[in-house]
């Protein structure tokens, strides 16, 4: 059955921090980062920011979060700020941390994952392992909690991606050569019946100020 995203138009975009040159937002799950190709896929973080900040111009989004992922996202409100922030992401000068609930009991305490993958041309947007033609994704992980408040068998994990590939954390979590434990609620790589959302949240984002270059850090606890 095809998934139909919930109607999020009545839910306002949460602003974490704002300055004339950029804004940091808390993206809700199932909201697109940028407009989709279909006419009915225009509700997204970028367009909401345009509506909120009349001086915003240019592409705005310096990076993206998967539609199903929630949490911290930064957008440049001026062309210069957007170029600066985009360059920081391209040159891997940005620190990003995610928190997730994964299916099952993770036995190790921490680890490092390096897997190359690409889009499945027969089943977009699913990503598949491809050591030959795929792009390498690199992720560090750390177990935070094995008990939790849920009665499900799950583990709370912190993911620190060192690259920014499409679905990187979801693939690295689910694949047997990675963590081997899909993220709870993952409709592509796990069991969607376990939760009404993907339990993956961008909890920390740190980067250089796009105007004066000082280091900024933002933290946002996971809502699950």
Whether domain 98-200 has CATH 3.30.2350.10: the reply is yes
pLDDT of the residue at 6: 60
CATH superfamily ID and name for 14-94+206-219: Pseudouridine synthase (3.30.2350.10)
Check pLDDT > 90 for residue 28: yes
pLDDT tens for 129-184 read 999 999 999 999 999 998 765 567 899 999 999 999 999 999 999 999 999 999 99
pLDDT value at residue 210: 98
Please check whether residue 1 is in contact with residue 38, taking contact to mean a CB–CB distance below 8 angstroms.
no
**Which helix (H) or strand (E) covers residue 64, if one does?**
none
Residues of the chain with CATH 3.30.2350.10: 14-94+206-219, 98-200
Catalytic residue chosen out of the listed positions 30, 66, 109, 120: 66
- The mean pLDDT of 9-37, rounded to a whole number, is 94
User: Which one, of 110, 159, 166, lies nearest residue 136 by Cα?
Assistant: 166
Backbone angles phi, psi at 58, to 5 degrees: 95, -160
80 is catalytic: no
Per-residue pLDDT tens over the stretch 161-173: 999 999 999 999 9
Judge whether 203 and 221 are in contact, CB under 8 Å. Answer: yes
Note the pTM of the prediction, 2 decimals.
0.92
């Amino acid at each position: 059955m095809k998934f139909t995203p919930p109607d999020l138009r009545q839910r306002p975009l949460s602003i974490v921090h704002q300055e004339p040159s950029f804004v940091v937002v808390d993206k809700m799950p199932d909201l697109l980062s940028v407009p989709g190709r279909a006419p009915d896929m225009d509700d997204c973080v970028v367009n909401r920011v345009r509506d909120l900040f009349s001086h915003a111009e240019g592409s705005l989004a310096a990076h993206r979060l998967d539609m199903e992922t929630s949490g911290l996202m930064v957008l440049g409100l001026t062309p210069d700020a957007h170029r600066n922030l985009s360059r920081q992401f391209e040159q891997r000068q940005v620190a990003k941390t995610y928190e997730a609930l994964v299916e099952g009991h993770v036995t190790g305490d921490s680890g490092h994952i390096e897997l190359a993958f690409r889009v499945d041309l027969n089943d977009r947007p699913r990503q598949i392992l491809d050591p030959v033609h795929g792009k390498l994704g690199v992720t560090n992980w750390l177990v935070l909690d094995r008990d939790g408040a849920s009665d499900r068998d799950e583990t709370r994990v912190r993911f620190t991606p060192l690259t920014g590939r499409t679905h990187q954390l979801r693939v690295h979590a689910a694949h047997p050569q990675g963590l081997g434990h899909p993220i709870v609620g993952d409709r592509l790589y796990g069991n969607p019946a376990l939760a009404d959302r993907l339990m993956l949240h961008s909890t920390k984002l740190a980067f250089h100020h796009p105007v004066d270059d000082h280091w900024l850090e933002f933290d946002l606890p996971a809502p699950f």
